[in-house]
């Protein structure tokens, strides 16, 4: 009898797994720590599992870089699967400045050009100049960056260990706000004039 109960339990768990193989995001509903609610199975189509937008983004901005994301809000089929992707294009002299992904580890796969990338911990700095075919991983939550150190446009693809990795861009957080410049200067050891100058570039006030 014990073996019968064990077998029934295994069959039951297998059946549940088959039903819950995927959960295409219903983007009309709210997001939550566990992801979006599932679309009704009858409304799911193959297009929910295909992303066709990995084209070069617009790099005419202050960073001379563009990120084209395929996270859950762009690609509902990755909801709940613990994976998403992106493409970065960086013009000569451009960069993706210091930032973190609190919800995911990032994998960078070089496709074209040359990028110097790295991340920092409280104890060490890890940097490398990457060329096509190179792959670099940035552990979850670590402050990291990518700079075009070559002579032409650089392109790489990114993979994340979350459907919604999130991003915190250090420059925008520090200088794209209304916190008084004097207070930022005191906490960063910069001169007030320097803070005001950078705030002007990022739309900050105060």
Structure tokens at 142: 């670590």
Q: Give the chain's domain count.
A: 2
Most confidently predicted of 41-45, 61-65, 114-118 = 114-118
| 154: in domain | yes
Q: Which structural domain range is residue 186 located in?
A: 176-202
pTM, to two decimals: 0.83
| Mean of the per-residue pLDDT values of the chain | 89
In degrees rounded to 5, what are phi and psi of residue 204? -80, 160
Instruction: Using the predicted structure, report yes or no on whether residue 42 has a pLDDT greater than 50.
Output: yes
Identify the CATH number of the domain in which residue 103 sits.
2.60.120.10
In the DSSP assignment, the letter for residue 90 is E
Please indicate, yes or no, whether residues 109 and 181 belong to a single structural domain of this protein: no
| 11: in domain | no
Please indicate, yes or no, whether residues 182 and 80 belong to a single structural domain of this protein: no
Per-residue confidence at 5, pLDDT binned at 50, 70, 90? very low
Please indicate, yes or no, whether residues 180 and 154 belong to a single structural domain of this protein: no
Instruction: Using the predicted structure, report yes or no on whether residue 195 has a pLDDT greater than 80.
Output: yes
| 85: in domain | yes
Please indicate, yes or no, whether residues 65 and 159 belong to a single structural domain of this protein: yes
| 107: in domain | yes
* Residue with more model confidence, 93 or 7: 93
Nearest 5°: the CA angle 187, 190, 196 is: 100
Please indicate, yes or no, whether residues 189 and 144 belong to a single structural domain of this protein: no
Please indicate, yes or no, whether residues 198 and 126 belong to a single structural domain of this protein: no
Sheet strand arrangement including 154-160? 65-70, 84-90, 154-160, 106-112, 135-138
Please indicate, yes or no, whether residues 156 and 189 belong to a single structural domain of this protein: no
- 8 A C-beta contact, residue 86 and residue 107: no
- 8 A C-beta contact, residue 64 and residue 84: no
Please indicate, yes or no, whether residues 92 and 186 belong to a single structural domain of this protein: no
Instruction: Using the predicted structure, report yes or no on whether residue 14 has a pLDDT greater than 90.
Output: no
Please indicate, yes or no, whether residues 51 and 143 belong to a single structural domain of this protein: yes
**CA gap 154, 54 in Å, rounded:** 15
């Amino acid at each position: 009898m014990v073996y019968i109960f064990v077998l029934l339990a295994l069959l039951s768990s297998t059946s549940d797994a088959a039903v819950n193989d995927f959960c295409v995001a219903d983007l009309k509903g709210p997001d939550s720590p566990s992801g979006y609610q599932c679309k009704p199975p009858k409304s799911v189509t193959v297009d929910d599992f295909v992303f066709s937008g990995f084209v070069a983004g617009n790099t005419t901005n202050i960073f001379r870089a563009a990120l084209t994301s395929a996270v859950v809000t762009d690609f509902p089929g990755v909801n709940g699967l613990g994976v998403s992707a992106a493409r970065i294009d960086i013009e000569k002299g451009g960069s993706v400045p210091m930032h973190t992904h609190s919800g995911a580890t990032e994998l960078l796969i070089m496709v074209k050009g040359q990028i110097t990338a790295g991340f920092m911990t409280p104890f060490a700095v890890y940097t490398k100049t990457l060329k096509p075919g190179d792959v670099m991983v940035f552990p979850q939550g670590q402050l990291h960056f990518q700079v075009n150190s070559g002579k032409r446009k650089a392109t790489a693809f990114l993979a994340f260990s979350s459907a919604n990795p999130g991003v915190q861009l250090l420059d925008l957080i520090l200088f794209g706000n209304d916190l008084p410049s004097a207070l930022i200067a005191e906490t960063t050891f910069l001169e007030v004039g320097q803070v005001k100058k950078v705030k002007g570039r990022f739309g900050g006030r105060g």
